A and B are shown apart, each in its own frame.
Chain A
């Protein structure tokens, strides 16, 4: 039986709100010996985890529903929220079923969190997963392949199931499929943003953090099919790109507020792990080499990556705006987020040069007051409309 949009989104919402990760626990309990590997934003090669027969589980902080009690004792007030609520999830036993944690190379906070995890949860496999900032195949590429090999060995050992090339190829295929669907979903939103509202897109993507990849792919398909049948009115909203939300997650209400303020979000940098690799990863040949090449030459741009070519700096954002026929950009960064905030002035310069209007604000995963953000976004939307009518 096909599900309605409301049912699908309701399911995603309940996964999103479930800070005990019941679905992932159930997956693990269903077959003895199953393992779950947690990872933080923004990018880890989930294919490897999948190929080891384990469930990759996205850990994205505590959102606005988790009361942070212990976590605050670990971080000074001037450090962003996501590490403290992640620690909170850990010390309150909500992650006690997680067999390993991967901390991708994103910033100094996550980097140090990897070591904190080692000290606080000594029985759990914890790894900082570094990626090259050099994009030559013979330099950064071979380093990356070396790191992938290490991770492959570790995961094989952890699960008792050494990862074969064929298993990895099958996992790459599954994730290729998933990424294609995410791209389709984004394309659909560009085409008819009123039909696929941003909060729904976010929830559908977010479900992919806790579901097995095939199940998530089915969910995206079902969602896209179901929304086709919805009769949703097109509003006089302006089209915007939001950027800066790649790590600490915005409260869902923030995303809703943007639309209520008159903005259709037509592109964003949410949950980048779901579309970090921009094209299909080839199945033929050496799978590790293929993953490395995809990372080096066809991966998303974000503040955690170095841009070797000054002429290219920030151009991706302008392209994003053009591709999505957006009329403006909203920079939304978590408070105290170094990568997003250091990057912002450079991106703003590029936008200014390209004549793209923008505004900027900060948020925290537990921001409660949406009024100021709604006002700011509303004023921005109005000014864009005025401007385009002029």
Chain B
């Protein structure tokens, strides 16, 4: 085997990280606003990431609080384990989504969110229910806690791989007849469609730049890591900032940075500095593990593996196949956005998408990180893996972990699997016969 490339020890140029610093400030600012919402007389909508209606929420001067993002932050800060246990003590099953349990456990312990700031009680639960049944139950559970107005915006699943007019009409009607009137009532702000159009215009700008950044990974070497790094890139647009000028500026700055990296033929920035010597290019399917995020990432960059495309960076919206928020059709575009997010796509669509990533990004293969508590992603992933292998001729591998439950992250097991996978890629490159085609991990815990 060739020498593993290493992340160079040289410290990152501060200017190169300006987008990162900007994002940190944006997110910290958002949490500060949330924590002082009560004093400032601001109302808060809790909503989910996939299919979030941020532009619409802003039309009513509401602040957006995303329980999934809180769960991710708890995971990164290693607080999620105790929250999950707390929820289980309260009677929630060990089998269900750990995001939900993180959220409920955190609430039970006083609802102190990331940055140590108190999270506000929501004034409205906007259940923009896209792609996952758990969301529906999660918001019913939250409604039990808060007893506030709950708005259900049902997004039909695109089981046949297409958005039909019937689906779109249904969504638009829900927006007009249910979502908007209720948001008006809760916020006391009258809906202004032109305001919505302005936000949508802003969204489309940021979306252009995000797509450009994600697609920069088609270059060799890839200037970005589109999974571990990608998670940072999607923060503002999937969270509370889509439609704001701040987001547009952020993505503009990010694009410029990535352009610089491209010009300099640089690899991605990792927590240990810059990664030189890209050895393996991977496509990753499935969410990451957050409780051991850095260790997990390290297992990749230490081996010279760069993720060039991932499905997870599409959960809050699939933009790379052409969709942009369209200010000329404001409500229809919100409908299409919700209908098109990754987890609302049929399994054959997911296969197609991943196979096209393997081909278009000249990847060495597909890696699936299967999440124990997320059926939305996980049920069917073994077939996805086989289909993508069949269509691309590239080997696939399979590892297992959990989102925010530290009990299900087994570093030795995952590392072993990854090493076997990289060997398999080497063999494949050398033209050797690859037995069975894929690597599967046993239970990670």
Contact = CB atoms under 8 A, between A and B. Distances in A.
Whether A and B are associated in the same complex: the answer reads yes
Interface of A: 73-79, 83, 103, 105-109, 111-116, 118-120, 127-128, 130, 132-134, 136, 138-140, 142-143, 146-147, 150, 303-304, 306-308, 310, 313, 333, 335-339, 341-346, 348-349, 362
A135 B285 CA distance: 35
Contact of B380 (A115, A333, A339, A346): A115
Interface string B4-36: 000000000000000000000000000000000
B376 interface: yes
B143 A128 contact: no
Contact of A143 (B156, B383, B400): B156
Interface string B348-386: 111100000000000000000010110110111111000
B90 interface: yes
A112 B379 contact: yes
Nearest to B343: A108
A308 B347 CA distance: 29
A105 B379 contact: no
Contacts of A304: 133
B78 interface: no
Contact of A313 (B132, B140, B351, B376): B140
Contacts of B382: 73-76
B178 interface: yes
Given A79-B378, A134-B178, A339-B137, A308 B156 contact: no
Interface stretch (B108-116, B167-175, B241-249, B306-314): B167-175
Given A77-B443, A109-B379, A304-B133, A143 B92 contact: no
Contacts of B40: none
B346 A79 contact: no
B141 interface: yes
Contact of B154 (A119, A127, A132): A132
Contacts of A75: 379, 382
A243 B287 CA distance: 32
B330 to A, nearest CB: 19
Contacts of B157: 105, 111, 128, 130
A150 B133 CA distance: 23
Given A108-B375, A304-B133, A134 B443 contact: no
Interface in B131-152: 132-134, 136-138, 140-141, 143-144, 147, 150, 152
B141 A103 contact: no
6 contacts: A79-B378, A116-B380, A132-B154, A143-B166, A310-B144, A338-B134
A119 B91 contact: no
B170 A139 contact: yes
Nearest to A110: B379
Contacts of B376: 108, 112
Report which residue of A79, A111, A147 has the largest number of chain B beta carbons within 10 angstroms of its beta carbon: A111
Interface in B84-133: 90-93, 95-97, 100, 129, 132-133
Interface in B73-87: none
Contacts of B137: 303, 338-339, 342-343
